[in-house]
Amino acid sequence: MNFIFVSICILIKKNKILVTQRPANKYFGKFWEFPGGKLGKNETFEEAIKRELFEELDIIVDIKNLKNLDIVIHSYDKKSYIIMNLFCLHKWKGTIKNKDTQNYLWISKTGPFPNKFLNGGLLILKRLKNRYYKL
């Protein structure tokens, strides 16, 4: 069994959340997801999301502004499990830019949501729609 640890983040601005589209040349190309990615060697979940948000969106995050929301586990093939530590973020420095993503959208927390959303994030979208999280 293989475990993959990732940090993902729901960025909130003016009561909307940010979703990003994976580049066409990557695995699950053109699918939508929340920003974030795999932990590097010896990285904490907080350090990983700080690094990923800078690499993907060119924003600077102060770890103290991250709110830990949930841990979501998903399996695509019953051999590998993705353990996602989900954060919420209201405050960052810089202007969001497409550095590593195809596109991004600001959407309502209750939908409608983009088609072709990664399965691992669908549970999070359902919980957002049902107001499970206090963002």
From CA 89, how far away is CA 108, in angstroms rounded?
15
From CA 121, how far away is CA 126, in angstroms rounded?
9
Domain covering 2-129, topology: Nucleoside Triphosphate Pyrophosphohydrolase (3.90.79)
pLDDT tens, residue by residue, 5-42: 999 999 999 999 999 999 888 888 899 999 999 999 99
* DSSP reduced 3-state for 48: helix
From CA 50, how far away is CA 37, in angstroms rounded?
10
Spatial neighbors of 54 by CB under 8 A, at least 6 apart, are 60, 61
Q: Where are the alpha helices (DSSP H) in 1-71?
A: 45-57
pLDDT tens, residue by residue, 111-131: 889 989 988 888 899 998 888
Extents of the domains making up the chain: 2-129
The C-alpha angle 67, 94, 22, rounded to 5 degrees, equals 75
Give the pLDDT of residue 23.
87
